[in-house]
């Protein structure tokens, strides 16, 4: 057994769990060990029932006096136990856990953790964590308990995989590989930080808060360090790649193109287009990132660039993260470029999916399916006469563009939209396949400058820091539960006036999982009852591409009034007629993310609204949401996010816009600067890192992220 052992092969995991763990993106033992808790419950206060104060989280050791299931009139099952630690009896209560009476019996010695409350004058703990202690040594300096009496790790979960399960497995497996862990950090760089093995031990099962913090520091440093190293090494390598033939820039034609646009380019758009033009005239391939707020108009800049490429008799590949976006871009680019005799084609995974679903037999061949398949086929035919994007000069697609089947000769430019949604390897692969042409990536994720220097050390940056004139500020309101019905009335009224609405269902887990989809479906059913006369549709990331496409198209062509969706799928969607976006459980999202979601509306001339539903308006989380009512600057909001959420208890996934960090947050600027310094020093001494095979191996890992099919 080692880090690379597939989870499926580990005894005690088995097929069912291995499948479930895949939903958390965990495939190997290493993945599992790098599945870090996102918080700890502090049950380290071991005390006695007599001394415990109401409202305090405590751990007690004692004996079960009685335990029984009680069936209430509403057919609920409550398990009640009387527990005595020798100072005062206390009541333990669990809901819907009737099996507990099989696991816990009168006379058992237990350690229990939970919050002390008082009910009908009796001390009690509701839903306590528990574990048996009869077998535990009395001097437990090694803290052998897992679920009680310590800082208890709480993990990102998925349906059928609880934190309790994860805790148990990690505690069992980690010690077996601890000896094999070799620290890739050279000693002088590691300095005072925890060695890797201890950091991994302490992040899961910290002895105390200080150790937990040290573990986070060390592992956070690693994340930033390796990314910094990877980007700087990439920059070094970039300077060595073959030269390209400089483009001829036909300013007259470009100006004509700009003049014919249905709007005037903003100053910022012009500036960025100018920067691209300058790059095109060089003999080094461009490697540029456009960062621009949602709705700032990045697509048209890329279209102008594609036009210049076409004037130099070369093709452009345009990769988008989802089929929805790919089709949207396909249509936009067709409108912009076809008048100049440029054929635009589309290449997504659907063809494959189509033939696959046909091969599946009758089961799936419902009438809707074939209607949907036709929609895609139509688009494909109109794009390129039925051929998969062969003769087109601008080819839009999803990661299907990475397919070996796509001819990639004469590519002059690769554009990657919403680049943060792709892995490093996918971008590199596309670039290689297209034989290193000019490379333009785009993102709407606001990135503070210091962060950008580390994460995008290999790229030149262009910023569109201006929205088109006349763009409406989206009126934003935090809506408490008691105003929900009023807001539904408002929505119905707006729809009656011809407007359309997005409803975003809450984010249950850091990424879209079955649980999230399930919640979305439940919400959808509820909403259908709320708006029985309106046409609603549901969109989520786990649907088939063709279905997604039909649903988005229906929404864009106003066939649907309300589009209910998860937060994941519709990044970048553009429907100017949608004027309201409702976000359920808004407190679960970061401010910057909410700002991006808000950018789905306010794209036309009509007044637009963002309604942030939250259950508890008085909580800190809801107060945080208030910033959105007055702040419309994505970067400011991102910085606020980091200040508020970047420290303390919540240290969930920080999205860098490029790499996913489990621990490191951008708020830790000092750490960022330190890592950048360290990597620069290291590379200047040893540009190929020959002296550091472990570091090199680690970089390979970063470069070989799993590719979606």
- CA dist., res. 420 & res. 319, Å (int): 12
Following DSSP, what letter does each residue of 231-292 receive, concatenated? Answer: HHHHHHHHTTSPP-PPPP--HHHHHHHHHHSSSPPPHHHHHHHHHHHHHHTSSS--EEEEEE
Shortest spacing between CB 290 and ligand ADP, in angstroms: 8
- CA dist., res. 615 & res. 597, Å (int): 19
Shortest spacing between CB 444 and ligand ADP, in angstroms: 5
295 binds, among Mg ion, ligand ADP, none (CB under 5 to 8 A by kind): ligand ADP
Q: Name the segment binding ligand ADP (CB under 6 A); options: 184-192, 247-255, 297-305, 550-558.
A: 297-305
Following DSSP, what letter does each residue of 365-397 receive, concatenated? Answer: --HHHHHHHHHHHHHHHHHHTTSSS-S-SEEEE
If one asks whether residue 292 binds ligand ADP (CB under 6 A), the answer comes out as: yes
Candidate residues 158, 163, 296, 445; the one interacting with ligand ADP per rule CB under 6 A: 296
- CA dist., res. 168 & res. 157, Å (int): 14
356 binds, among Mg ion, ligand ADP, none (CB under 5 to 8 A by kind): none
If one asks whether residue 444 binds ligand ADP (CB under 6 A), the answer comes out as: yes
Q: Name the segment binding ligand ADP (CB under 6 A); options: 37-45, 109-117, 262-270, 390-398.
A: 262-270
Candidate residues 263, 526, 697, 701; the one interacting with ligand ADP per rule CB under 6 A: 263
The residue nearest ligand ADP at its CB is 297
Q: Could you tell me the sign of the dihedral formed by the alpha carbons of 299, 305, 308, 312, in that order?
A: negative
Shortest spacing between CB 467 and ligand ADP, in angstroms: 8
Using the minimum distance from each CB to Mg ion, give the nearer residue, 295 or 345: 295
99 binds, among Mg ion, ligand ADP, none (CB under 5 to 8 A by kind): none
Q: Could you tell me the sign of the dihedral formed by the alpha carbons of 41, 42, 47, 51, in that order?
A: negative
- CA dist., res. 632 & res. 109, Å (int): 57
If one asks whether residue 446 binds ligand ADP (CB under 6 A), the answer comes out as: no
Shortest spacing between CB 350 and Mg ion, in angstroms: 21
- Nearest-CA neighbor of 290 among 313, 254, 266? 266
Q: In Å, how far from its chain's centre is CA 432?
A: 26
- CA dist., res. 130 & res. 111, Å (int): 6
537-576: which residues touch Mg ion (CB under 5 A)? 572
If one asks whether residue 400 binds ligand ADP (CB under 6 A), the answer comes out as: no
Residue 298 contacts residue 266 (beta carbons within 8 Å): no
Q: Name the segment binding ligand ADP (CB under 6 A); options: 260-268, 507-515, 559-567, 611-619.
A: 260-268
If one asks whether residue 634 binds Mg ion (CB under 5 A), the answer comes out as: no
If one asks whether residue 324 binds ligand ADP (CB under 6 A), the answer comes out as: no
300-319: which residues touch ligand ADP (CB under 6 A)? 300
If one asks whether residue 570 binds ligand ADP (CB under 6 A), the answer comes out as: no
Residue 595 contacts residue 634 (beta carbons within 8 Å): yes
Shortest spacing between CB 572 and ligand ADP, in angstroms: 6
If one asks whether residue 603 binds ligand ADP (CB under 6 A), the answer comes out as: yes
- What does the per-residue mask of binding to ligand ADP show for 377-396, with x meaning CB under 6 A? --------------------
> Encoding tokens for residue 317?
């590949």
Shortest spacing between CB 268 and ligand ADP, in angstroms: 9
Residues 6+ apart with CB under 8 A from 288: 275, 276, 279, 439, 440, 441, 459, 460, 461, 462
537-556: which residues touch ligand ADP (CB under 6 A)? none
Following DSSP, what letter does each residue of 144-213 receive, concatenated? Answer: --SSSSSEEEE---BTTB-HHHHHHHHHHHHHHHGGG----S-HHHHTTSPPHHHHHHHHHS-SSHHHHH
SS (H, E, C) 465-491: CCCCCCCCCCEEEEEEHHHHHHHHHHH
Using the minimum distance from each CB to Mg ion, give the nearer residue, 202 or 328: 328
- Nearest-CA neighbor of 52 among 100, 85, 14? 85
Number of amino acids touching ligand ADP (CB under 6 A): 18
Q: Name the segment binding ligand ADP (CB under 6 A); options: 37-45, 298-306, 361-369, 631-639.
A: 298-306
Ramachandran category for residue 313: left, alpha or beta (phi over 0 → left; psi -120 to 50 → alpha) = left
416 binds, among ligand ADP, Mg ion, none (CB under 5 to 8 A by kind): none
Candidate residues 62, 156, 220, 297; the one interacting with ligand ADP per rule CB under 6 A: 297
If one asks whether residue 560 binds ligand ADP (CB under 6 A), the answer comes out as: no
Using the minimum distance from each CB to ligand ADP, give the nearer residue, 300 or 495: 300
Sheet of strand 536-539: strand arrangement: 475-480, 609-614, 578-583, 500-504, 562-565, 536-539
Candidate residues 298, 380, 438, 662; the one interacting with ligand ADP per rule CB under 6 A: 298
Using the minimum distance from each CB to ligand ADP, give the nearer residue, 269 or 348: 269
CA angle 259, 461, 682 (to 5 degrees): 165
Shortest spacing between CB 388 and ligand ADP, in angstroms: 26
443 binds, among ligand ADP, Mg ion, none (CB under 5 to 8 A by kind): none
If one asks whether residue 599 binds Mg ion (CB under 5 A), the answer comes out as: no
Residues 6+ apart with CB under 8 A from 362: none
Please count the CA atoms within 13 angstroms of the CA of 67 that sit on its side-chain side: 22
Candidate residues 124, 202, 287, 299; the one interacting with ligand ADP per rule CB under 6 A: 299
Shortest spacing between CB 295 and Mg ion, in angstroms: 8
Using the minimum distance from each CB to ligand ADP, give the nearer residue, 229 or 573: 573
If one asks whether residue 260 binds ligand ADP (CB under 6 A), the answer comes out as: no
Shortest spacing between CB 35 and Mg ion, in angstroms: 32
The residue nearest Mg ion at its CB is 572
- CA dist., res. 428 & res. 336, Å (int): 28
Residue 583 contacts residue 597 (beta carbons within 8 Å): yes
The length of the chain in residues reads 709
- CA dist., res. 207 & res. 634, Å (int): 39
Shortest spacing between CB 249 and ligand ADP, in angstroms: 21
Shortest spacing between CB 292 and Mg ion, in angstroms: 8
Q: Name the segment binding ligand ADP (CB under 6 A); options: 92-100, 169-177, 292-300, 529-537.
A: 292-300
Using the minimum distance from each CB to ligand ADP, give the nearer residue, 438 or 603: 603
Instruction: Classify residue 6 by its DSSP letter.
Output: B
Shortest spacing between CB 117 and ligand ADP, in angstroms: 49
Using the minimum distance from each CB to ligand ADP, give the nearer residue, 119 or 263: 263
608-647: which residues touch ligand ADP (CB under 6 A)? none
- CA dist., res. 331 & res. 326, Å (int): 9
> Encoding tokens for residue 509?
């887990």
603 binds, among ligand ADP, Mg ion, none (CB under 5 to 8 A by kind): ligand ADP
Residues 6+ apart with CB under 8 A from 529: none
If one asks whether residue 274 binds ligand ADP (CB under 6 A), the answer comes out as: no
If one asks whether residue 294 binds ligand ADP (CB under 6 A), the answer comes out as: yes
- What does the per-residue mask of binding to ligand ADP show for 462-491, with x meaning CB under 6 A? ------x-----------------------
If one asks whether residue 657 binds Mg ion (CB under 5 A), the answer comes out as: no
Q: Which residues of 330-366 are buried (b: 16+ CB within 10 A; e: fewer)?
A: bbbbbebbeeeebbbbbbbbbbebbeebeeeeeeeee
Give the residues lining the site for ligand ADP (CB under 6 A): 263-266, 269, 292, 294-300, 444, 468, 572, 574, 603
Residues that bind Mg ion (CB under 5 A): 572
């Amino acid at each position: 057994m080692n880090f690379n052992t597939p989870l499926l092969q580990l005894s005690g995991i088995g097929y069912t769990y291995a499948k479930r763990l895949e939903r958390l993106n965990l495939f190997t033992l290493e993945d599992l060990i790098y599945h870090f808790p996102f918080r700890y419950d502090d049950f380290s206060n071991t005390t006695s029932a007599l001394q415990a104060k109401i409202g305090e989280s405590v751990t007690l050791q004692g004996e079960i006096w009685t335990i029984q299931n009680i069936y209430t009139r509403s057919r609920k099952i409550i398990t009640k136990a009387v527990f005595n630690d020798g100072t005062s009896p206390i009541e333990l209560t669990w809901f819907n856990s009737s099996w507990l009476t099989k696991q816990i019996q009168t006379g058992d010695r237990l350690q229990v953790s939970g919050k002390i409350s008082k009910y009908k004058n009796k001390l009690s703990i509701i839903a306590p964590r528990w574990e048996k202690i009869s077998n535990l040594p009395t001097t437990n300096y090694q803290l052998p308990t897992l679920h009680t009496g310590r800082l208890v790790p709480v993990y990102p979960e998925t349906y059928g995989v609880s934190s309790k399960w994860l805790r148990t497995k990690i505690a069992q497996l980690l010690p077996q590989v601890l000896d094999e862990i070799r620290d890739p950090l050279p000693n002088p760089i590691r300095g005072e930080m925890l060695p890797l093995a201890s950091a991994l031990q302490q992040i899961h099962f910290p002895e105390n808060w200080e150790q937990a913090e040290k573990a986070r520091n060390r592992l956070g440093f690693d994340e930033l360090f390796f990314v910094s190293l990877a980007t700087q090494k990439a920059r070094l390598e970039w300077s060595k790649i073959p030269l390209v033939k400089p483009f001829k820039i036909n300013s007259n034609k470009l100006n004509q193109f700009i003049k014919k646009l249905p709007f005037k380019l903003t100053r910022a758009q012009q500036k960025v287009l100018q920067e691209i033009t300058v790059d095109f005239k060089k003999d080094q391939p461009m490697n540029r990132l456009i960062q621009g707020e949602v709705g700032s108009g990045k697509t048209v800049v890329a279209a102008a660039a594609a036009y210049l490429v076409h004037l130099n008799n070369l093709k452009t590949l345009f990769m988008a993260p989802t089929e929805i976006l790919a089709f949207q871009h396909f249509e936009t680019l067709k409108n912009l470029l076809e008048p100049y005799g440029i054929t635009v084609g589309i290449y997504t995974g659907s063809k494959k999916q189509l033939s696959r679903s046909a091969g599946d037999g009758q089961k799936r061949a419902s009438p809707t399916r074939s209607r949907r398949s036709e929609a895609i086929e139509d688009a494909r035919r109109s794009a390129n006469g039925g051929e998969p994007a062969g003769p087109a000069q601008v080819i839009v697609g999803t990661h299907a563009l990475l397919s070996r089947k796509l001819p990639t000769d004469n590519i002059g430019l690769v554009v990657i939209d919403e680049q943060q949604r792709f892995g490093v390897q996918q971008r590199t692969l596309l670039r290689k396949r297209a034989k290193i042409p000019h490379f333009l990536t785009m993102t709407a994720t606001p990135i503070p400058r210091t962060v950008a220097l580390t994460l995008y050390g290999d790229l030149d940056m262009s910023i569109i820091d201006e929205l088109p004139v006349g763009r409406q500020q989206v009126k934003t309101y935090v809506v408490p539960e008691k105003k929900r019905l009023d807001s539904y009335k408002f929505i119905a009224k707006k729809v009656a006036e011809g407007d359309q609405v997005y409803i975003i269902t809450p984010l249950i887990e850091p990424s879209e999982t079955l649980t999230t989809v399930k919640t979305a479906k439940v919400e959808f059913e509820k909403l259908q009852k709320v708006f029985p006369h309106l046409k609603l549709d549901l969109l989520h990331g786990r649907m088939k591409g063709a279905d997604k496409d039909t649903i988005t198209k229906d929404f864009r062509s106003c066939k649907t009034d309300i589009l209910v969706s998860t937060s994941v799928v519709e990044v970048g969607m553009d429907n100017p007629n949608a004027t309201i976006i409702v976000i359920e459980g808004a407190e679960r999202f970061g401010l910057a993310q909410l700002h991006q979601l808000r950018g789905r509306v306010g794209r036309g001339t009509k007044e637009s609204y963002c309604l942030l539903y939250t259950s508890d308006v008085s909580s800190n989380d809801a107060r945080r949401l208030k910033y959105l009512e007055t702040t419309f600057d994505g970067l400011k909001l991102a910085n606020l996010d980091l200040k508020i959420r970047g420290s303390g208890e919540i240290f969930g996934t920080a999205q860098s816009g490029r790499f996913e960090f489990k621990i490191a947050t951008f708020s830790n600027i000092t750490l960022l600067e330190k890592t950048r310094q360290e990597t620069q020093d290291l590379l200047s001494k040893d540009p190929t890192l020959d002296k550091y095979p472990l570091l090199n191996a680690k970089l390979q890992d970063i470069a070989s992220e799993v590719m979606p099919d």
